[in-house]
Amino acid sequence: MIAFLLAVIPGLIAPTLTFLTAMKNVQVQIFQARTGHAADVALAAIQGQAAVQTKWWFAALPPAIIGFVIAFYVAKAIGWDVVVGSFSGCAGAPASDPTCHRWFETDALKGDLHMVFLVVITGYFSVSLVDKFLKAK
């Protein structure tokens, strides 16, 4: 198994580097299209932005953690309870069935958690819409 992984890793490096280079070139082209600056200026601006994001990584941590918690809840409630539960014969099972009740039932969000869930989901989707609206020329 280790020999297989060691044989696969060098083959993955070249495509990964090609992909990352292509992504950087696309970022430069997008910056040039928005601002009209030369490629050198665009590359310097993108590198400066990356340096700031690297320095202030902890500022992006709380929204990411909250988003992962919400995503995990949705994945458990839909992916596990509904999809996997229906394949295992627990779809529409009575509440008296201990196996289905134990493994394929997620507690509903109660009280303020329901509002927090809605605000987080709305925030994640509306941020991209607001960004697109503000960046449109």
pLDDT of 24 strictly over 70: yes
Query: What does the pLDDT read at residue 92?
Result: 67
User: For the stretch 76-92, what's the b/e string if a residue is b when 16 or more beta carbons lie within 10 angstroms of its beta carbon?
Assistant: eeeeebeeebeeeebee
pLDDT at 137 over 60: no
Of 76, 82, 127, 124, nearest to 100 by C-alpha is 82
**Angstrom distance (rounded) from CA 137 to CA 135:** 6
CB 70 within 8 A of CB 118: no
The C-alpha angle with vertex 21 and arms to 17 and 22, in degrees rounded to 5, equals 115
pLDDT of residue 1: 58
The predicted-structure confidence for 99-127, as pLDDT tens digits, reads as follows: 777 787 877 788 888 888 888 888 888 87
The pTM assigned to this predicted structure is 0.54
pLDDT at 105: 80
User: If you count them, how many residues does the chain have?
Assistant: 137
Stronger pLDDT, 23 or 70, i.e. the higher one: 70
